[in-house]
Each structure stands twice: as structure tokens, then as C-alpha cells.
Amino acid sequence: MNLPRAAAVAGLVVLAVAPRARAQSWTSAPGWTAGATCYEVFVRSFYDSDGDGVGDFNGLTSKLDYINDGNPSSHTSLGASCIWLMPIMPSPSYHGYDITDYYGINPQFGTMADFQRFLAEAHRRGIRVLIDMVLNHSSSRHPYFQAALHDTTSPYRAWYRFSPTSLGPGPWGGPAWRRSPVRDEYYYGAFSPGMPDLNYDTPAVREEAMKIADFWLRMGVDGFRLDAVPYLVEQGACLQNCPGTHLFLHQYGAHIDSVEQGVYTVGEVWGPVDTLLPYYPDQLTSYFCFECAFALDSAVGRGTAGGMLAPYLNVQRAVPAYRYAPILDNHDQPRVMSVLRGDPARARLAATLLLTLPGLPFVYYGEEIGMIGDKPDPRLRTPMQWTAGHAAGFTTGTPWETLQPDTASVNVAAETGDAGSLLNLYRRLIHFRLRNDALASGALVPLAANDSAVVAYLRRSVGGHAVLVVANLGGAPVGAVSVTAGAGTLPAGTYATHNLLGGAHGASLVAAADGGVRYLVRALAPREARVLDLTRH
């Protein structure tokens, strides 16, 4: 397609953008995001269809019913509304974050036809597909970088940053200027020598980023997860979160909207919510809320509620829920079950909180069965554990990475048959989130509890429907817990409480004439959560 004309803004070359497409994307949520949960998949580790030990698209397609079978009342499907695929393009590395061809499929995962068949089957089940887009850097083996490295007159020389000397440390204080293997010079690669940063001061690089997005949208993907976005543009001593990065992301988002409205983009910006907020309102659709993850994991780990809701409330004040993405872990972090020291009760609690709090949550594959994993990185990304059999049912051959030692007990087959398993809890919560308007889109209203181990909050929809969540994060039982909130919390009246997680329903809740709430929970077992749907008499 024809790209917009170039214009100079604030000393940077950016593409002129038409504002017409922005209003739809930022004032109303795409319909599929209401109550949605997304599922992160590492294709290499999900399911191997041909016995070579590496997961592939045909294997992923065969397992789509596990993720979402298209039946809203399914008891065997997670019910995830979208899938985020870690890098699927050709790369010399197992992880895929150093790309050699932005228009291809990693041949270890199959062919473009295999990918398109996967897309069609995902869409048939109502699953949106987001693919990882790595725009900060290419592989050092990319033909463009090789041309720039070997030929100082190549037009691709300006696609990267070269210097006769090292210009100092990178954004984290370590080395970033890498010695060239060809001549006496350096190139900038913040992440590693094998990942030279692309130079977004060069108009052709920006235009290429747009063309790559156009190509994958034509292939049928529904959006992108953008890797490492704070590092896209360097400006003098500024190496992260620079003004030029915000300008480019505005341009990128506007371009995508002009091609196809409703495309969902989610960016990786590590840091507290205050670091995240400058990336709104008019850049990507959403960003991962890492501070939300750290606050939740930390609260569950230490057994006290203090500070857990603060980042959620901070981001809720700034943007709609579909525009931020909470997690418990991902492919770069120790798995939550390892963070919580292998404690199934803590893992159940963390899952319940994640899936009853606002935002558009992402679940990392295997998190739902309690897979473990700690650094180094390959151990965070081990093959999915399907059965207790050979290679945990992942492959008939030898898996690309040694599996975790607990596959005999921690696997999909074993947990599917256990009504009280972590997997079945995830299934119930994800489906509840889709069906219950308060959990799907309700505001977060914090409640005060008279015990530091207890966190309590309401999710309250625009129509007044509410769900009350009360959880004991501690390792000891608590009794006679009083939770309160001030005037205007709920319409006055008496509410029946229905326990969505099963078991005894709670006592009725009474909202005073001014809408204030005081509710007494008689007892909570260690690490017990109650999710109470409120019905006003």
C-alpha cells in the first residue's frame, strides 16, 4: 500500500499520520476484549506433531480445543479469547527474538500454509491471534545487517548505528557498543552482539516497520505484541523511554488503524505504572502492567495484602481496562509456581486474584497446570506437560529441552480428571470472567479489612451488578473478618451472595442508605478466596 508522506517533527523523521482512525480505537473497546483472557504460547514448546522434538503449527492447531473449543459452556476448554505467539519468524536462536526474515515462518515450526491453517482454525473458534513483533533489533545474521557490516556504501548502513569508538554503556549500564568482526569500528546492540539495534532515525527503517505490519495483517493476524518498546529510539544520552520512541509508536499505531481498525497491540514496557502512563493515550492499544504482577505475586508470597491493589487502582484511574494487561509471569520471568515456592494453595490464590481483577489478563502456557521454571531462560520455556507418558506427551521423539521433573503429577491429563485441580480452577474463572458483566468490565472498588492478611474488593459494573472478592493471603485461618467501604459503594439494599467457586454461600450483604458497606466474613481458611456474586433483593 502507499505509505503517508514523510515529515520532520522535533528533529526526528516521522511519517505524517491521519488522526481520523484514532477515535474508534481509543474510545471504545473491541468487542472481543470484554471479559477476555489471552494465552501466551511458545510454539517450540507447545506440541510437536512430527516427532522432531520441536513444537510446530500443526501441533498447535491440533491442541486449539484445549485453549478454546468455541463452546462458551465448555468444561474442557480454557476459554481464552486470544493467543499471543512468541516469535514465529526465522531466527538462528531457539527463542526467536533475533529475526533474519520478517516476512517468513520459522521452518522448524512449519510452513506459511501451516500457519494460515492454524489462523483459520483459531478464527473458527473465535480466537484472536497476536504475533510477537520484534522491532528494536534484528539478528546480526539478517541480510540487511550483513550488507551494512561488510559494505560502508550500502544503503542498509543507515539502518543500524555504527561508530569508530564505543560510545559508552547501554541502558542498563552494561556494554552496548559491540566490536565489529569486519573492521575497526563498533555497532550498537543493547541486548547482545547478535541483536544489533535498528536505527529509527532512518525513514526507511520506519517505513519497513509499517510494511511488515501490513504483510502480517494481510496474512490475517489480529494484532501484535511489541517487544522491548522503550528502547526503539535513542536520542543522545537518552537510551530508553525517549521522546522519539513515543513519536514512532504514535505513528505506528495510527498507521495500523488506517489499515484495519480494531487491530489490538500490546507493548512490553517494564517498570512501575508511572513509567507506563506516558505511553498513553495515543500510541499502542495496551501495555503489560508489570507492577500489577509484582504487587500480586509479592502479596500472595508474603501473605499480607498491603499495597496489592495500588497499581491496579493507579492504572484504572488513567485508562480503560482493555488497555492494560496484567500477568502473573511470562517467558522472561520465573514461573509463578516457582516464585510461590511450589505451593499449590498460593498458586490457586494468585490465579483467583488475577482473574477477578480488572484489565485484560494474559496467562503463560503451563501456568494453568502449575508448571515450574526458573532461570536460565530455557528452563522458563520447557515443553508443555500434557500427560504422564513419554516426554509428557509433548513429542514422540526427544524434546528440544529437558522437561521439568514433575511431569508425572503435573500435567493436563491428570488435572482434567481432578475437579479440584488448578487447571479446572483456571477454566472456571476464565469462563466466569466472560459471562459475568461485573468481572468482565466492572470497576475495581477496594474495601478495607480489619486483618492485614485479608484483601477485599468489589468489581462493580456500570449497571450496578457487583462481585465481592475476599481472600485470606496468610497461612493461618482468620475469623470474623469485617470488610467495609464508604458511601456510594453500592445502591442501598440487601444482597444475596452466591459463591462462584462452590461451597457455602455467604451471609447477605447490606448496603446502607448512603451506599456504604460493612460485611462480616465468619471465617476464612488459610489462603482461601471467596468470589461472591451479589444479587439485590
* Residue extent(s) of CATH 2.60.40.1180 domains in the chain: 441-536
Q: What's the pLDDT at 29?
A: 86
> Are 404 and 371 within 8 A, CB to CB?
yes
Q: What's the pLDDT at 504?
A: 73
Q: What SS3 string covers 361-405?
A: CEEECCHHHCCCCCCCHHHHCCCCCCCCCHHHHCCCCCCCCCCCC
Tell me the whole-structure pTM to 2 decimals.
Answer: 0.94
Q: Which CATH architecture does the domain made up of 441-536 adopt?
A: Sandwich (2.60)
How many Å apart are CA 10 and CA 331, to the nearest integer? Answer: 36
Residue 208: active-site member = no
> Are 388 and 407 within 8 A, CB to CB?
yes
How many Å apart are CA 251 and CA 130, to the nearest integer? Answer: 19
* Residue extent(s) of CATH 3.20.20.80 domains in the chain: 38-136+204-435
- Please list, in sequence order, all residues whose beta carbon lies within 8 angstroms of the beta carbon of residue 29, skipping any fewer than 6 positions away: 320, 321, 322, 441
Residue 367: active-site member = no
Find residue 499's DSSP bridge partners. Answer: 532
How far CA 153 is from CA of 71, 82, 148, 149, 303, in Å, comes to: 58, 45, 8, 10, 61
Q: What's the pLDDT at 42?
A: 98
Q: What's the pLDDT at 390?
A: 98
Q: What's the pLDDT at 212?
A: 98
Q: What's the pLDDT at 506?
A: 81
Low-confidence stretches of the chain (pLDDT < 50) are 1-25
Three-class SS state of 328: coil
Q: Which of 444, 446, 530, 435 is nearest to 486 (CA)?
A: 446
Q: What's the pLDDT at 2?
A: 29
Q: What's the pLDDT at 26?
A: 57
Query: Among residues 56, 114, 132, 227, which one is catalytic?
Result: 227
Query: Among residues 56, 257, 268, 415, which one is catalytic?
Result: 268
Q: Domain 38-136+204-435: give its CATH superfamily.
A: Glycosidases (3.20.20.80)
Q: What's the pLDDT at 502?
A: 87
Q: What's the pLDDT at 322?
A: 97
